[in-house]
Structure formats: structure tokens, C-alpha cells
Structure 1
Amino acid sequence: MIKKTLKINGVERILILDKDETLAQVLRDHLLLTGCKIGCGEGHCGACNVIMNGKVTRSCIYKMSRVPDHAEITTIEGVGTLSDMHPIQVAWMAYGCAQCGFCSPGFIISAKVLLDNNPSPTREEVRDWFNKQRNLCRCTGYKPLIDATMAAAAVMRGEMTKEDLVFKQTGDSIVGTNYIRPSAAQKVTGTWDFGADDALKMPSGTLRLALTQAKVSHANILNIDTAEAESMPGVVRVITAKDIKAAGGTNKINGLVMLPKHNKTDGFERPVLCDEKIFQFGDAIAIVAADTEEHARAAAEAVKVEIEELPAYMNAMDAIAPDAAEIHPGIPNAFFETNCIKGPDFDWDSIPDSQQVEIESYCSRQPHLHLEPDCGYGYIDEDGMITVHSKSIGIHLHMPMIADGIGVPMENLRIVQNHAGGTFGYKFSPTNEALIGAAVKILERPVSLVFNQFQNITYTGKRSPAFMNIKLAADENGKLLALWGNNYVDHGPYSEFGDLLTMRLSQFTGAGYGINSIRNKSTTVFTNHAWGSAFRAYGSPQSYMGSEIAIDVLAAKMGIDPFDIREMNCYKESEGSTIPTGYPPEVYCEEELFKTARPLYEAAKKRVAEKNAASDGKIKYGIGVSLGVYGCGLDGVDTSNAFAELNPDGTVTMYAAWEDHGQGADMGVLVSSHETLRQAGIRPEQIKLVMNDTKTCPNAGPAGGSRSQVMSGNACRLAAENLVAAMKKEDGTFRTYDEMVAEGLATKYEGNWVTTFCADHPIDQDTAQGDPFATYMYTIFLPEVAVNTETGKVKVEKFTCVADVGTIMNRLLVEGNFYGGLVQGIGLALTEDFEDLNHDTSLKNCGILYPNDAPDDIELHFNETYRPSGPYGAAGCGEAPLDAPHPAILNAIYNATGARITRVPARPEKVLAALKELEK
């Protein structure tokens, strides 16, 4: 042990500690200064940044033996407080920088050191500084962070005040404004606790969990020996599948088959703990419960698992090979099939080869790369309910998925969402919920389970890769006539939502265009790679890797401008255009979208031409284009519920299970309810939020597929309308709480929104025809790239985006979602992948983009076509920026160089290979 005297946030502290502890561990575990976050644990992400003796220090890798005695350390808690914020913290709120908020403390720390030493930095210097400090953000795309730093610098120079930065409400409506989300202040001051922060503050007697996990991708389990682990220091118990079964559980996750007709599985392939087979790397085999996390992890490694290793099928094509064994004996590896059959058959021989194209493409196993590792905790609550806190974005959805598996009746199970440090969809699937719930039931003690980043990357779901084979045909003028496809989706070893995902390929391949004849077959395949989970834009990135490259290839073959061919074929009411599933969209807005985008595209073409004219040829410049369409909601009839309650003090409490990835659910509930509540004189600050607890909030459905603003937004609107209607008197004034009680009127009202109109045209499981979504979002992507022809490196220099997501409910949120989604799309196109289990096991190695990898020049334009089915005319927005930016970037590479790339990521070696092909 060593003794250190440190001045932390101005207070002298005497600490006795282990010299091998990191500074982050001391700040968090000893002092509970949890504003310092641990993301990567390797010094790659900057979430742990603190100031030590005036310099930015990555505390997660800085050993206490290196910390000098009497060092002065400042954490985010010492920068500013809720009552006295630093200008940087105010700017972070004002520019919408704190989306999930996990990275915010580390960025603010870095920005403070920069501005303390350089009060007038350029935007390039700010980016370079964040890059140097290894600050990562997965939510914002970095542009708002640069904007905020520049604004804070102006305040610190005395050119403006903190008050000048903050949104000031002028009318009684906050729709379409930059009203700051309710959670922003806590996020920028480090007082917004995430799951691992909560776990540190749990009561004494809490047991810490660790997992024994598979180190191969496919094997039979012959024996599990827990004896040595059970005898190790601090270990209370080692739990295996037999313990779960002895406690009344089936040990199976319910994968919820959504489309049974052509499904060859019942959805119960995934065990809570593996006992017979290993299906993928990282599969959980045993849970160790101990007094400390260190003891639990050590014992988890001591569990002996005897295996018979089997051939591992790491992609769909290998898994469907004739000699491939069934991963789940008795179930074919190709376990689901869907066909989109729209319109009459098309005679492909009836048109010349010059008017048709066929391409093969591949969309990769993109990792979510959320900075906060998966985490959660559990306990038995005051009513005897098994209570699980996690990052779940489907708290009511996950209850039936895990209840039988762990032997807990639904009515005795409670799931609460932690403050989540980004999910981007991976938590649509349960990850740790069943493990925590089983441990609580068996141990009857509070527990916590916190992954490190290696576990987070290797044992959470990924975007399901897809192999696409697409044909397109057009008449002599470029009018699209037919689309044909044959596609394979690699969904990993577990089926959950794989049928729904594959149906998305029927719904979105060729979407945006009035194509009268479609024959598009898609097959879902079990493999031994990472299980497929939801990822932002669920299903559409795979779809548009096919159709948006194919239409570009067709345009080039026919000598038509790629923007023109898309505009010519977009949905038009005058032509009776229909979506791939055979019905008209809710609104026809694409023609106006292309009119808005036209001058922006022409300006981009001019810029690119000027750059190429001035270039020596080493760097070539190009402009790409793509069109993305995404439906808001779950297929068919969808529903959501919320409560609005008038309180004695005149405030209103909204109860809503609108789960938050970081996209801004708190703001969503606030603005969707306030727009109605303001009729009764209720101000935004008078609305209290109770969110994301199955015990207190009604079922609103999961936060996925951009359904929340439409579904939960409408539920909040209706709950507020019902309350306001009850409060309203005949003379037009409104009752107080006391008057409501005196008149015997209820003070709490439910809002229930159901897309009953989708029931009129349900999806036909044979043809995929039907009307599955309440409304759609539309986006035109216009990236400008620079391609280094000597190295193959591609840089997106500018990204222009034109979108229609209906009424914009909060501009900060919508713009922030687009900035972040576009940069995730750049990563998908150029760098990000999870393929090599020996390499792709860290944020850095998976290809996450740092500030200098993302463009500073992102230009957003929005049309706001009113959506009749949306609350106050709104659609969703979360999926829109990531449905088709990547094919646009690949199309831009072609425009720049003539090299056509149809597989992502387009890393430099792939681009160089394509360029060399041109020389043959």
C-alpha cells in the first residue's frame, strides 16, 4: 500500500491505496467522483480525462504509483456545478452536445485545458486538440462539440455572456425550438449517473458478478468444473445452467418469432447460460458471485470448461454450404425466408443489356461502438419483485423474453432502464437482463454486473451483415421498370428478430422509387459469428447497399446523371407511385425534397470540378448521391401508452416508458406533452417526468425503428389531451387540483395510441405486400470525398443532407441525431467492422472515427411536410441519417476515380485494389 496526499477539486485528501490502482479507480471507487467515466479502459476514448497539474490525463491507464504527491487534480465535479456552471458546460447544453452524456465530462475537461492555454483557437485547433487527447463521441458527429467550444471561448474572452448562449423561450410553445433537454445540466456537470456509477453506490452486501465465457466460436460442452472457482477468495457461489433450471427456469431466452409462416425455428435457441453447446465467442457459461469484482473475475477464469471444438461457420455463405452442419441440430442454418412480390412478372429478356444491371454487394457486421460498456444491477424490491436495472431500450419487451428462462412470473418481474451511455439499438435484445435476474433469484442478494470494453465489443449484438444480389432495369429514358434480388442475412447464432430484420430488406430495397415489378428474395442464416441485434436504421443499410449502388451503376451505364435518375423515379402522387410493399406512402414529399436538394447538388458538382481542375491527380474528388427511406414503427398494428397526472401543486407528472439511447427521450416526452398542456397554462418546467420503469410506467413498446416520436409522442399527446379536457370548465378556464378532487374527477389519465389503420392492410407473409408503417422519413445524401490514389485513403470533406422528417419537435435533438448518424454512416462506409476476433476487440481496432476523421462541414436542410399520423405532424428521425449515407460515399468514390466498390468498409487497401483493377 502507498500513502498519497492529493488536492482534488481544491480539497486536500490523504489516501491509502494500492500502487497498481489507476487514478480512475481511486477517483471512482474511493471518492465516488463518478463524473470520471471508464469507457475503453485503454486510454482510447477520453471518457476518463481529468486535469492533473494543468494537463489532461487519461486516468483509466494512469497508475497511482506515477501520480506525484500533492498533485492538483480537477475532475468534472470541480469544473462547475449545477448552480454555477463553467461557460463550457453552458455551451455544451446550448449546442446539444450532451446526447447520451457519457463522453461529455471528458470532452469538457479537455476543452477547459485547451481554452485555459489558448483562448482563441481555430476550429482546426480544437479538433486537433480533441484528437490528441483521444476524445471519442459516438452520438454527435463532433461538429456540435466544436461549435460549443468556440462559443465557450467567446464567453471566456468576454465577448458574450453565458446567458447569451442559452435558449430563451419567447412564446408559449417550444415545438421546433432549441429548448434544452431536461437531463443536459446533470450530464455536463458529471452528476448524471450511469449503470456502473449506480453499481458503485449500492449497499454493502451487494455481490459483484463476473462471467465465464466461451473462448471459441463453436463447440460441444463436455463438462463444467466449478470446484476450484468456488474455493477462491471472496466467492459466494458459482451459478451454472443447472442452478437456473433447479430454480424453475427453462434457461432459454424467448426470441419472439414475429413472422412464423416461413420460420423454421421457434425462437428458443439462445440459452441464458450454455450447458450443452457453445454457439459463438463470448457465450456465457457460468456466473461467479463474489464480494468484489476482482475476486469474481479471477474465479470466473478458474472455471474449467471441457469442450469438443466444432467447425465454426463465420459467415452466411459458409453456413449454407452443402457440407455445413446444423448449428442448432434439427433446425436448418437457413431458417427464414421472405419474398417481396410486387406487381406483374417482368421479362428481363425484353430489354437490351444497356438498360439493365446486376450487382453484388455486402454490408458489414458494423459494431455499435457505444462508449459505455454494458452494465446493470438487480435486487428484490420492497414488494418482493425481482428487479433488474439495465440499458434496455425495450423494458416491457424484455420481460416476456427472459421471465420463463429465469423462472420468474411476469407479475413478479420488474425492469428499469439505467441512464444509458448510448446503445444505438443493441439493447433491443436482452444482453445481461436474464443473467442479473437469475442471480438475484438464486442468491436473494443485490448484485451488479459490469462488462469491460472487450466483453462489450465481443459479447453484444452487431449489425447483421447481408450479401445482396440485385438487378435493376429501366426503359430507354431511365424510368425504372423492375427490381430482382436474392439476398442472405448473417444473423449469428440466435434468431431473435431475425425474421423482422429480413422483412426490412423486402420493405426498403428499392424504396423511394415507383418500381412496378419487384421480385426480391431474402434468407436469414444462422452462423457462429456475433449474434445479430438491432442497429440504428435496422435493415435499411443492408437494403440500400444493394439498390442505391445498383441505381448508380445503371445511371452510369445509361449516361444519365445519378441525381437525375433518382429524381425521375421518386415517389409521385401524379403517377400513383407505391412503396415496395404495394401501398402509397402516407404523404408524397420526395418531389419537393429533390427540388430543395437540386441547387445543393449542382453547387457540390461545381466545387468538385474546381478541385479536380486544381489537383495534380494524386487526390481526386467526387460527389455522391443516394436516397434513403425509413418507416416509423413496428410492422402492422403498433401501440403505445402513457399517463398524465395533475399534482396538488399544479404541476403535471408524465409517466412514459420512452427508453433513451441518448437520442433525447426526456425531451420527447416533454415537448409532446407540453404542446397540449400549455393550453391549461402549464409551463415546460412544471412538467415532471417519471420514465422507463415497468412498475410505474405503462407499456409504450420499445425505443427502436424511429417509432417513439410517432407512437409514444402520440400517447403522451393523448394523455395530456385527456387531462386537459377533464380540467377544462364550461367557461374555458381550467380546474385546479383541489377543484378536480372536490368534483370527484380523476387527476390521472391514460393516453393510448394504436395504428389501427395498419390493420386494414396487414403484411402478407408470402409476398411482403401490405401497409406496415404509420409514416416514413426521407433523406437525400450528398457527400463530397477526396480520394488519395497513392494510399487509397478516402476522406469525406463535406456532407450535405436534405431530409423530411415531418414537423421538427426539437431542433437541437433532430440536428444532433443527424450529425451523429451521418458520421456513423461514414464509419460504416470507410472504417468500421467486427470480423476478426483476434483484432477487432477494441474501439480503435473496430474503426471508430476520431474528431479528425469526421468532416467539420456538415450542412443540414429540412423540409417539414406535415404527417397526419404523427403528433403535431412529426415523424421520427433517429434512423434517417444512417439508412443510406454509405452507398452515397461509395458512389462518390466512383465519381472521383471510376472505381466501383460494393463492399464495406472501403478501407484503403480495398480502394487501392479497386484502383489497380482500373489499370488492367
Structure 2
Amino acid sequence: MNLKKMTLNINGADRMFICDPEKDTLASVLRRLGLTGTKVGCGTGVCGACSVILDGKVVRSCTRKISRIEEYSSVMTIEGIGTALHPHPLQYAWVNLGAVQCGFCVPGFIVSAYQLLQENPDPTREEVRDWFQKHRNVCRCTGYKQIVDAVMEAAAIMRGEKTFEDITYDWSKDIEEGFYGKPLVRPNAMAKACGVCDYGDDIELKMPAETLHAVLVMPMKTNHAKILNIDFSEAEKMPGVVKVITAKDLEGANKLMAYQFSPRTVEFEQTHKLLQDEKIVRWGDPVAMVVADTKDHAREAAGKVKVELEQLPEYMSYLEAVKPDAQRIHASFDNIYSTQPVLKGDYDNVANMIDNAEYTVEGSFYSSREPHMSIEGDTVQAYYDEDGKLCVHCKTMTLYFDRDDMAEAIGIPVEDLRVIENPTGGSFGWAMNAASYALAGAATKVTGMPVALSMTYAEFMAFSGKRSPAFFNARLACDENGKILAGEFDSGLDNGAYPEMGDDKLTKILRFMFFPYYVPNVVGLARSAVTNHNFGVPYRGYGAPQAYTCGEALIDMMAEKMGMDPFEFRYKNIARPGDTNLNQRNFLQYPMEEMMDTLKPIYDEAVKRAKEEDTPEIRKGVGIAWGGYNVGLGGVDEATVAIELVGDGKFRKYDTWQDQGQGGDAGSLVCTLEALRPYFPEVTPDDVKVIQTDSKYCPNTGESAGSRSHFANGKASIVAAKNLADAMRKEDGTYRTYDEMIAEGIPTRYDGHWVAADEWDYFDFLDPNDGSGEPTYAYTYALYLAEVSVETATGKTTVDKMTCVDWVGKVGNIQSVNGQAFGGMSHSIGFALSENYEDVRKDTNMLRAGVPYIKDIPDDMTAIHLDGYDERGPFGSSGASEAFQSSDHVAVINAINNACGVRIYDLPASPEKVKAGIDAIARGEEPSKPGKYFLGSDMYEELEKLKANPLSWD
């Protein structure tokens, strides 16, 4: 190896270093020098997280080899722009305008924006967007709107037109009123904006020198094969290799997730192994893990492991896996492993009603396999801590749930395992799966040494789960007045290689099909199957977007067939008080009319604008869609937090509100402030320190999923605050000081435990025979309006504007809720138009998998939060997250149809699909649509079998 001494002027100072100029990139050198504000996401120059300024130009440093850089060149990184004590206006604006969410992309954006403002001190919003598009800066959290806001405000400050105070929320004015609903800054935002927040790969760089490095052996050759032999003899002899770990080293453990959520689910074995030893069941299944003294040595040795395979049939979709001649993917259960019906009203007569109705529409739809594409991939660290516990740092969003799963997979008692969530660069759901966390822990158990496990982005894309695709056959009928009579649907959920959570996910289809309309008569069947594609994991919306893909398209098709305005048709059929949902229960809230009334003038103006701007070359269209989602886990939900008095007027809050970028720290802070306010009205944000997601210190507040965190944490915080106040209260009604508590031997830390079933008794799981039930304690509602332009020459669709009217109860932190709204809309636009993980060989990075860049997302996005109050919720709040990525993608699809007459039945709506439809219409033909899907059996025959075999939860 021939090395070179080199000097660069970095952030104004000459820095000498030694490097391999042909191997080292500018990013790797900067990070080795301790400048870890330069983040590496994709590693292929398509995400911009690694942006730095090189000789006055923004470059993506992860692909810039040192050999291409002249000595003494000038480099500026985020650390040279400002510090937490002396932030640059860009950093200050990012923090105070809600442009920091997960924060992983933030240093790259701020560095990029810094150079923009050097060249153009007074840019327009469109010039800002053009700049970020040119430099490929990707944000997966915000929807970009707040980022442009931050640049514009920072530019005004730099020009002397505004001051820091002009963009600062002064909470001192609200001490008496309280801070609920106000734009409190996230406690960790400034660290992220200054590049000093350490994410997983940053922590790895700062671990002790003896730390080992693990690389997975993932034979990316096939999707389904029998493993004949794994030969790692050559790998063991490679430099620096400590151990090649295989399934034999994890004997008695090595398996994840065998939870079953329905009596209609077959008893399946634990098929998700950490390391496969018998079969490859999906692309990228790991068969071994090489642990070595350096990452490079581990990677080189991993390439020397030889895996002999015998090819087996590959079933890459639900439709292939359920064919009559398809072989079982897992020997112990059929490929279709779970079914659940929903039956409402005169369900035995639904088919006849639809056949004889005045108006009937039908269609078959495909909701695609959406990749999460968090900019930070998967990175895990493990070691034995000061108490002798095996400690794993990871991106968990379900800390205690994952801890239980990990302990079983590693093969240790759960009490010997400590789990900590690192600062996390987004996940949007995939981080609920504990496979990589358990692998790192297993490596430490086997070697007895600290271990860091990380992946290339291509490995991460193959390894991590995706949104489960779903196929639908469905019909809808209404009478001559436009009132819905009956609905019928048959669905097949593709849960990929492993069955885990697929039976839970399919219940969401049964709950959110035709939500929130009143449909008096319904027959539906949801089925879940395993395939050889990437396994299904949670993704914001968790089953509901699949249902809306079908349901909201049928609603639009019915309005079109009747010649009725789609807004009017929806208004006529939304549920009113007393109307029941598909599960034969009342809606917990009925804000639907108010929401539609709020959107109506905006809709009318959009329709008028589309007609005025429509041309033969650029067709303009408007689409709407109803959405929403449940809040929480229902009667089984519970949460615990702790509040501790640590000084007079000072508190610490402990919980596991896992922050994936949604603002768990800000949410916990505002819930704590509001819970303490009845007893200590003078408490301020500076008086509360939030300590989160370390199982050594923090009680189990539950998962950051199901839109439940604010609701459950808030409820538990109320209890904890009361318990602490009761302990502090003297007989005369005043409160003891901290010193008095200590002197009297009274504990200063108190748990607050909340159990949903203790507060309400109406919960019931969905009945396995007819789908009736109410397994939740709150809902959120969202109504979307999308305005699009379609280029007739190319079929390319651009979303010009998107509006959301939502009901989330009382808003707790306005910046966090807006962040969820705009971020959810941006994901949904990508889901509608470009995002897909279908080709496992091609879709290896964000660009190839269709991530939307800033010019793919409209700058004109509006979220209108109705002034609601959920009497069930803490402080009047319901929940906020998943409603914002429920049906907005269908608003885009409906708008395309409105613009050019092309109905897209299978996502995404690529330019090729839209163009093919436009061309068919030009030829006087009907645009093509899929025929009825074969989903494993005739739905009515399957329902008869289920009726003959009634089951109960008992």
C-alpha cells in the first residue's frame, strides 16, 4: 500500500493527513479527521448528505477521490460555518423554522445553502429549489418546504433586513398560558444543525481502538435457493479476521418474530433467521458475518466466503406465490397463511345488490412495494457495558419490543441485554425489525469484544424490509341518487419472505377500505401470503395506504360514471353521527362535514384554475381523496414514563419516545410541561431535561408506531406528574423543595403508568368471523387535494400544489405536526409517481428506487389543522403521523385521471404508463387496465369455508 502525506486548508486552517489517494474519498478523510458533521448516506453521490465546499464549489464528498483534489485546496464543512454557541443564520433558521427533523441531511443542506448565498444573496424560492435540485440534496423528512423557508429567512438576516429575534419563538411570553401548541424548538435541533450530533457511524468512529468490525455475507445471486455448503476457510485466513460467524455459532437462538395477531393465522415457525443455514428465501439473506479488526479487512474477507446453492422456484409477487402449482416457500405452512373477512349489513346479498344497482364500478388495483429510503442506512454498535450487560446501540423505534426479540435471537436472558437508540437518521418504520441489532449483539457475544456493524447502502436496501404490496379486486354500487349501497373487495397482501406482522397489517385493510364513508353493506376478504421478495415491515400508514389505493379510486370512478362532481359525491356519502364504519362500530369522531366545508372553497378555486390553465400540451387536473388512520394499539396499549425532581424547579423526564425524526424529544418536552403545569405553573422549557431511549434508565413507554406516542406518553406523563406532585405536597398545600425531599427521605422520581383498558372498556379485537370490532381509542382524519400537470408528449406528471385539511385533536407542537404533514405528503407523492423496490438488482440506491428530489415536490403545500379537541386524549390531542401518509397518493392518481382521462390502476404512475394511456385515448381506444386478479381462490368460496369454521379469540 502506497500512502501519501497531504495538506488541505479545512475551515480556514491547514490540516495535514496521511491517506491512500486512490482509495480515500474526501468524506472519509474529513471524518477520519474528526469532522463527522459530514455525513455519508448513499455513498454514491445521489443524496447530498456529504456535501462540502471545495474551492468555492459544492461537491458530494463521498465520491470525490483524494487523487482528484489538488494539495492545499480549500474545504469548508459544516463545522466551519457555525457552532452551537455562535450559529450561522442558516443554522439558526433551520432550528427555529422546523427544518430539522431527523437531521441527518441537515449539514449537507446547510453547507450547500451557504455557497448558494455566497453566490446569490437574494434568491427567490424557485432559485433555492433549483440549487438543491442541481446539487442533489435529498431530505426524506420535511417535504422540503421548511428548508426553503429557512434559506429565505437566513438570507434576509444576512442582508440585514431581519434579525434572529424576528424568527425566534419567545416562550417567555407564554409562561402563564402554557406552551401547548406552540413552536417549541426541538432540544436536539441545534446539535444537528451544527453537525455535532453523533449518529451511528459517528459513534463507530469514536469507539475504542480494539473495536471489531462486522460485515454480512449476503450472496446476492438469487431470491430462492437451497444452501448446499458455506465454505469460509479462505475467509478465516484473511488479514485481521477474528471470526466468521455462521448459524452454528448461534445454535439454539438465531430466530426472530413469531408473533401471531389473529385466530385466522396459521401457527407458523420462526422463519426469519439472523443467519440462514438451510435456504435463501429472499435477495440478500445473510448466511454469515465476518468480524475483523477493520471494516476493510472484514469486507475483503466476506468476499472470500463461498456459498454453494441449488436454485429453487422464485415467487416474486403475491400472484405468483398463490398459483395452484406454486410450491411452499416455508415447509411448515402454506404461502397464504392468514385470512380475515369483514361482513356488514345484508352481506349475503351484496353481490346481488351490486349486480342490480343503478350504478356499479369495478376495478383491480396494485399498491406497490415502497422503499423507506431513509438517508442514513443501518448501523449498529454492541459491547459489554459497565454493569456487564450486553449493550446494543441501534435505530430501534420499539426499544423494549426489540429488546425481547433480540434477547431470544442472541440467546441471552432479556435482563442481561441493554438497548439504546442512537440519534437516528430516519426510518419511517423499517427500524421496528431487530435483525441487524441482534446480529451485532450476537457478534459481541461470540467474540467477547465490542463490535460495530454497518452496511453499504446497497446492502441496506436489500437487507431492510419494505412496504408490503397488495392486489385488489373490488366493486362499488350506489343508487340513482348517488348514495352508496354496497361494497365488495378481495385483497392479497404480499408480505415477502417472512410472515411476521402480515396478519396484523391486513386488518388495516379491513378498517380503512372506504374510510370514512358510510357503506351499509359490505363483503370483504383480506389475505396475506409469503413470497420470495423483500419482507414486509411497518411503514407510515401500515396497511392503510394499500386500502386507500383501491377504495379512493373506486369512489372517484363512481363519481365519474354518474357524472357527479367527485367532491359532491364524497360529501353525500361521508359518515354522519350515528353512521357505522365497516367494522360495525360508530366512528369515534365525526369531523368529516366540517373538513369538507373547509376544503370546498379551496377545491372550487383549484378546479377553476385547472380549467383556465389547461392546454393540449400540459393538461391540468385536480384530485381529492379521503384518508385517516387509527391512533394506538387499543385495549392492549400501555405506557410508562418517569419524572424526577432534580433541583428546585428542575425536572428530568425519562421515557422511550423513540425519535426517528418525528420529534420525540419535543413531544416529550411539551407533554411534560403541560402535565406539570397544574402543580408548577412557573415551569419553563429550560427547567426540563428529557432523557430517552436507554433501557437502563428509561421505563417502557411503548413503540413509536401506530401514531400513539403523543397520546400514550401524554397520558402517562399526567399520571407521573400527579404522583410526583402528591409526594411533594405538604399538609398546607405547598410543595416541598428538593432539599426538603432529600432531608425527609422521600423519593424524588415517580413513574406514571397508563393502561388504555383501565380507562375505557369498549375495546374488542376484530372478530375473526365478520371483522366487527373497535380495537382503538382514537382516530385521525385527513382530506387531500392535489393539483397536477401532465405533459402529454411524455406522460410526466408534476404535482403543482397539495392541500391537506386534517383533524388531529389539539395540536401539541405545531412544528412537529407540520413536519409530519409535509413529510407525509412528500412520501405520498413519491409513492404515487416514482418510488418502487421491485428490481432487486437495480433498485440499490435512492435515485434508482425513485426518491423524489426537491423539484418533484411542490413548494406550495398547505396543512390546515382543524381546531379539534379529542376528549379521550391527553390535553385534547389525538395523534399525528400516519394520517399524513394514508391516501394523499390517491389524490395524485385521481388528479391524473382528471387531467388527461388516464386511470392508473397499478402504482407508481410512471411517465411510461401515463403516456401509454394518453396514446390509447388518442387512437380512440380505452386505456389498458388489469384484468381481475387470481388471489388464491374465489372470494365467496373462501368465505363459505370460513363460515363453516367459526373461530374466537378465546
Q: TM-score interval w.r.t. the shorter chain?
A: over 0.9
Partner deviation per Cα, 1:314-349 (whole Å, 9 max, x = no partner): 000100011111000121000111111222223443
Tell me the CA shift for residue 898 of structure 1.
1.4
Tell me the CA shift for residue 514 of structure 1.
1.5
Find the residue that maps to 1:647 and give its secondary structure. Answer: strand
Aligned residue number for residue 465 of structure 1: 469
Find the residue that maps to 1:116 and give its secondary structure. Answer: helix
2:855 paired with 1:852: yes
Aligned residue number for residue 243 of structure 1: 249
Find the residue that maps to 2:800 and give its secondary structure. Answer: strand
2:660 paired with 1:655: no
Aligned residue number for residue 222 of structure 1: 228
Aligned residue number for residue 871 of structure 1: 874
Aligned residue number for residue 66 of structure 2: 64
How does 1:19-98 map onto structure 2 within 5 Å? Answer: 19-20=21-22, 21-29=24-32, 31-98=33-100
Tell me the CA shift for residue 737 of structure 1.
1.2
Tell me the CA shift for residue 405 of structure 1.
2.1
Find the residue that maps to 1:155 and give its secondary structure. Answer: helix
Aligned residue number for residue 703 of structure 1: 704
Tell me the CA shift for residue 354 of structure 1.
4.0
- Residues 28, 34 of structure 1: 8 Å contact kept: yes
Find the residue that maps to 2:799 and give its secondary structure. Answer: strand
- CA pair 636-315 structure 1, distance change in 2 beyond 3 A: farther
Tell me the CA shift for residue 432 of structure 1.
0.5
Q: Name which of 759, 765, 768 aligns with 2:768.
A: 765
Partner deviation per Cα, 1:398-449 (whole Å, 9 max, x = no partner): 1222222221111111111111100000111223011011111111100001
Q: Name which of 293, 296, 303 aligns with 1:294.
A: 296
Aligned residue number for residue 431 of structure 1: 435
2:239 paired with 1:208: no
Aligned residue number for residue 266 of structure 1: 268
- CA pair 235-886 structure 1, distance change in 2 beyond 3 A: same
- Residues 350, 486 of structure 2: 8 Å contact kept: no
Aligned residue number for residue 558 of structure 1: 562
For residues 495 and 239 of structure 1, the distance between their equivalents in structure 2, rounded to whole angstroms, comes to: 26
Q: Structure 2 counterpart of 1:278, which letter?
A: I
- CA pair 606-728 structure 1, distance change in 2 beyond 3 A: farther
Range that drifts further, 141-150 or 166-175: 166-175
Q: Structure 1 counterpart of 2:228, which letter?
A: L
How does 1:632-671 map onto structure 2 within 5 Å? Answer: 632-671=631-670
For residues 898 and 860 of structure 1, the distance between their equivalents in structure 2, rounded to whole angstroms, comes to: 28
Partner deviation per Cα, 1:542-599 (whole Å, 9 max, x = no partner): 00011100111111111221111111111211xx112222211222211111111111
Find the residue that maps to 2:647 and give its secondary structure. Answer: coil
Partner deviation per Cα, 1:373-419 (whole Å, 9 max, x = no partner): 11110001112211111101011011222222221111111111111
For residues 647 and 329 of structure 1, the distance between their equivalents in structure 2, rounded to whole angstroms, comes to: 57
- Residues 585, 775 of structure 1: 8 Å contact kept: no
Range that drifts further, 414-423 or 678-687: 678-687
Aligned residue number for residue 624 of structure 2: 625
Aligned residue number for residue 259 of structure 2: 256
Aligned residue number for residue 231 of structure 1: 237
Number of residue equivalences: 910
- Residues 634, 763 of structure 2: 8 Å contact kept: no
Q: Structure 1 counterpart of 2:823, which letter?
A: G
How does 1:480-519 map onto structure 2 within 5 Å? Answer: 480-519=484-523
- CA pair 803-226 structure 1, distance change in 2 beyond 3 A: same
- Residues 758, 772 of structure 1: 8 Å contact kept: no
Q: Name which of 528, 531, 540 aligns with 1:536.
A: 540
Tell me the CA shift for residue 885 of structure 1.
0.7
Aligned residue number for residue 893 of structure 2: 890
For residues 718 and 97 of structure 1, the distance between their equivalents in structure 2, rounded to whole angstroms, comes to: 33
Q: Structure 2 counterpart of 1:712, which letter?
A: N
Q: Structure 2 counterpart of 1:50, which letter?
A: V
Find the residue that maps to 1:302 and give its secondary structure. Answer: coil
Q: Structure 1 counterpart of 2:880, which letter?
A: C
Find the residue that maps to 1:783 and give its secondary structure. Answer: strand
Aligned residue number for residue 167 of structure 1: 169
Partner deviation per Cα, 1:599-636 (whole Å, 9 max, x = no partner): 11111111111112xx2x11110100100020011254
For residues 98 and 41 of structure 1, the distance between their equivalents in structure 2, rounded to whole angstroms, comes to: 22
Tell me the CA shift for residue 808 of structure 1.
0.5
Find the residue that maps to 1:432 and give its secondary structure. Answer: helix
Range that drifts further, 334-343 or 371-380: 334-343
Find the residue that maps to 2:805 and give its secondary structure. Answer: strand
For residues 205 and 736 of structure 1, the distance between their equivalents in structure 2, rounded to whole angstroms, comes to: 47
2:808 paired with 1:819: no
Q: Name which of 102, 105, 109 aligns with 1:103.
A: 105
- Structure 2: 5+ residue runs without aligned partners? 926-954
How does 1:803-818 map onto structure 2 within 5 Å? Answer: 803-818=806-821
Aligned residue number for residue 901 of structure 1: 904
Q: Structure 1 counterpart of 2:808, which letter?
A: V
Q: Structure 1 counterpart of 2:58, which letter?
A: V
Partner deviation per Cα, 1:857-876 (whole Å, 9 max, x = no partner): 11221103211221101111
Aligned residue number for residue 674 of structure 1: 673
Q: Structure 1 counterpart of 2:618, which letter?
A: I
For residues 878 and 258 of structure 2, the distance between their equivalents in structure 1, rounded to whole angstroms, comes to: 29
Aligned residue number for residue 476 of structure 1: 480
Aligned residue number for residue 196 of structure 1: 201
2:422 paired with 1:418: yes
Q: Structure 2 counterpart of 1:252, which letter?
A: K
Aligned residue number for residue 690 of structure 1: 691
Aligned residue number for residue 721 of structure 2: 720
For residues 308 and 600 of structure 1, the distance between their equivalents in structure 2, rounded to whole angstroms, comes to: 60
Range that drifts further, 535-544 or 644-653: 644-653
Tell me the CA shift for residue 649 of structure 1.
4.9
Q: Structure 1 counterpart of 2:622, which letter?
A: I
Find the residue that maps to 2:409 and give its secondary structure. Answer: helix
Q: Structure 2 counterpart of 1:201, which letter?
A: K
Q: Structure 1 counterpart of 2:310, which letter?
A: E
Range that drifts further, 128-137 or 354-363: 354-363
Tell me the CA shift for residue 847 of structure 1.
0.4
Let me know the Cα RMSD of the aligned residues. 1.3
Tell me the CA shift for residue 773 of structure 1.
1.0
Q: Structure 2 counterpart of 1:913, which letter?
A: A
Q: Structure 1 counterpart of 2:68, which letter?
A: R
- Residues 350, 488 of structure 2: 8 Å contact kept: no
Partner deviation per Cα, 1:622-664 (whole Å, 9 max, x = no partner): 1001000200112542111101111135411111011111000
Identity %: 44
- Residues 214, 280 of structure 1: 8 Å contact kept: no
Aligned residue number for residue 864 of structure 2: 861
Runs of 4+ displaced beyond 6 Å: none
Q: Name which of 568, 572, 576 aligns with 1:568.
A: 572
Q: Structure 1 counterpart of 2:343, which letter?
A: I
Aligned residue number for residue 330 of structure 1: 332
Range that drifts further, 234-243 or 861-870: 861-870
Aligned residue number for residue 928 of structure 2: none
Aligned residue number for residue 741 of structure 1: 742
For residues 519 and 799 of structure 2, the distance between their equivalents in structure 1, rounded to whole angstroms, comes to: 31
Find the residue that maps to 2:850 and give its secondary structure. Answer: coil
- Residues 636, 771 of structure 1: 8 Å contact kept: no
Range that drifts further, 548-557 or 399-408: 399-408
2:549 paired with 1:545: yes
- Residues 256, 267 of structure 1: 8 Å contact kept: no
TM-score (norm 1): 0.97
For residues 214 and 499 of structure 1, the distance between their equivalents in structure 2, rounded to whole angstroms, comes to: 29
- Residues 657, 692 of structure 1: 8 Å contact kept: yes
For residues 793 and 431 of structure 1, the distance between their equivalents in structure 2, rounded to whole angstroms, comes to: 39
Tell me the CA shift for residue 744 of structure 1.
4.1
- CA pair 28-225 structure 1, distance change in 2 beyond 3 A: same
- Residues 406, 438 of structure 1: 8 Å contact kept: yes
Range that drifts further, 474-483 or 291-300: 474-483
